[in-house]
Structure 1
């Protein structure tokens, strides 16, 4: 399965964006319905959408090749991924929906829902046949589901951008391992590329066995092939920078000292930082050193001088 950081390699042209005003009708699907199979990539799914209207045959199912369950009398049509065709379909969708609605289809694909392919087809087909914007037609179940999945993807993207913590290795690489509910790596790539442009980093999704690698020039998708499943993907202590435990201790100490125990509200805290994200956060790990409050501040006596005045008198 090929992966990319964007749904197509070329951006939509201004002509495609302006053509939303002209809405040619979609071809009628008059041929017998077929089962379609593709390589599992988003470009592959866009190629399937092109094949559906080229053959004028609606889909019974659309499945990745590895998940196809063929029968004795039913053989799926395997559609090869064609990047030029995929880009053509991606641009063509702007005739029937705006850019934000089109992006939600990509987010629905990254959600990894079992029926995501058919959901995207039904949404696109409805948009092409409606002759109007359907993004707010919440009476339709497909529109509601795409909108809901897009919202879930946005929340997961935002939390990953906030909660990812890096560890520095001996060769200067900053490494982070994540396990998000959805495939959000393509969505968080721009954020980390911009924010950490001066250091090499790798973010690895252990559930999907691929990651993002930034080499100070560009961010690429990297995949890891293993013959046997691994129980842990944590970085070995032998390859971590010798100062990494100190960085962790300093961060925990900073967190402890800025915390205000009297304002502790764990219910609100868990709402903003759900428990499943705590494994990424250094401040949520067991303390290697007991917390001691700061003792270098003298209390101010009632009617006495302020701290700044007291310091000046001491000098």
Structure 2
């Protein structure tokens, strides 16, 4: 009598859960890789229901391990691939860590030509995430509005979909080098803080109430009213095109822009 050969037991997948930060994702990738890429995955920690057929390990962020992954990407692949990966990790997509993990497995096998293989779904997805973050960051470079506050401080608030603050901070650190300024992502409670003449730093846990605790300067409201008056005066009411305005400047960019009403 013929009997079927018993199947080998399936190897359970070990999922490394990480913080939604650059260091958190890179650290989890390092540990998952060391454990073996054939049965591991990396995911950003969320409230999603866990599977009965997976083992979960929470990976604490470790700057030393994260720097090792960073150096490996730059030295063994290219700086362009690293910048693409870095920007993709700023996305709000909750599957980005897993996608990046699979992308890097393929990248280290085939080399720096990986970005040209857009027919691969993981390569295409990383490229797409990076492009989306870059597009939103580019928009905010023109839409960020600073307020002058007491104590010689400029502040700005944003509500981005992706975590574009690291990109914005590098830009404004170059443009506003002699100024004290803070840009706050009010959704993530994440701030870029720049003391005049010094390097900026990023700080988690900063609230909008903390930012607004410093009163605006005496002239700030006057400047806002003057700018709104100028904006409305040059507008031609008969040629107003609300749909075009929303296309060029979506509503979620306008929360902290005094010259434009929603």
TM-score (norm 1): 0.69
Alignment of 1:64-213 (within 5 A): 64=44, 67=47, 75-131=55-111, 133-213=113-193
SS at match of 2:202: strand
> Matches of 2:249 and 2:89 in 1, distance apart?
26
Say if 2:63 is the partner of 1:63.
no
Q: Equivalent residues in 2 for 1:283-294 (5 A)? A: 283-285=259-261
Determine which of 214, 220, 228 is the counterpart of 2:201.
220
Q: Which runs of 5+ in 2 are unaligned?
A: 1-10
Q: State the 1:256 CA deviation.
A: 3.1
| 8 Å Cα contact 1:52-1:58 kept in structure 2 | no
What's the counterpart of residue 212 of structure 2? Answer: 235
Residues 244/52 of structure 1: CA separation in 2 closer, same or farther (3 Å cut): same
Whole-Å separation in 2 of the counterparts to 1:48 and 1:206: 27
Bigger Rg, which one: 1
Aligned-partner SS, 1:134: helix
Q: Return the offset for 1:259.
A: 3.5
Q: For residues 58 and 38 of structure 1, do their structure 2 counterparts lie closer, same or farther at Cα, with a shift above 3 Å needed?
A: farther
Could you tell me whether the CA contact under 8 Å between 1:37 and 1:68 is conserved in 2? no
| Preserved contact between residue 36 and residue 59 of structure 1 (Cα < 8 Å) | no
- Give the alignment's Cα RMSD to 1 decimal: 2.9
Q: What is residue 52 of structure 1 aligned with on the other side? A: 32
User: Partner residue of 2:231?
Assistant: 255
Which of these residues, 251, 254, 261, is aligned with residue 278 of structure 1? Answer: 254
Aligned 8 A contact 1:34 1:57 in 2: no
- Contact 2:99 2:122 (8 Å CA) reproduced: yes
Q: Unpaired runs of 5+ in structure 1?
A: 1-30, 287-315
**Secondary structure of the equivalent of 2:123?**
helix
